[in-house]
Amino acid sequence: VDSINTKIPVVFIEFTENSSKTCIAPDDYAIGYELGQSITENESDIVTVAIISENTDRDSVVLREKGLRDAIEGKVGKIINWSKKESGTNATTRVFIQRAIVSTATDVIVTFDNTTTDSLLDALENLNKNSKVYAVSTSDKAVYNVYNKEIRVLEYPNEFSMGYLSAMYALDNKNAG
Average pLDDT over the chain reads 84
C-alpha closest to that of 106 among 90, 124, 92:
124
State the Cα–Cα distance between residues 91 and 89, nearest whole angstrom: 5
Number of helices (H), then strands (E), belonging to the chain: the values are 7, 7
What is the model's pTM? 0.81
User: Per this entry, what is the length of the chain?
Assistant: 177
Quote the pLDDT of residue 87: 41
Backbone angles phi, psi at 126, to 5 degrees: -60, -35
pLDDT tier at 109, thresholds 50, 70, 90: very high
153 phi/psi in degrees, rounded to 5: -135, 135
Q: How many CB atoms lie within 10 A of CB 16?
A: 14
**Rounded-to-integer distance, Cα 21 and Cα 11, Å:** 7
The pLDDT of residue 58 is 86
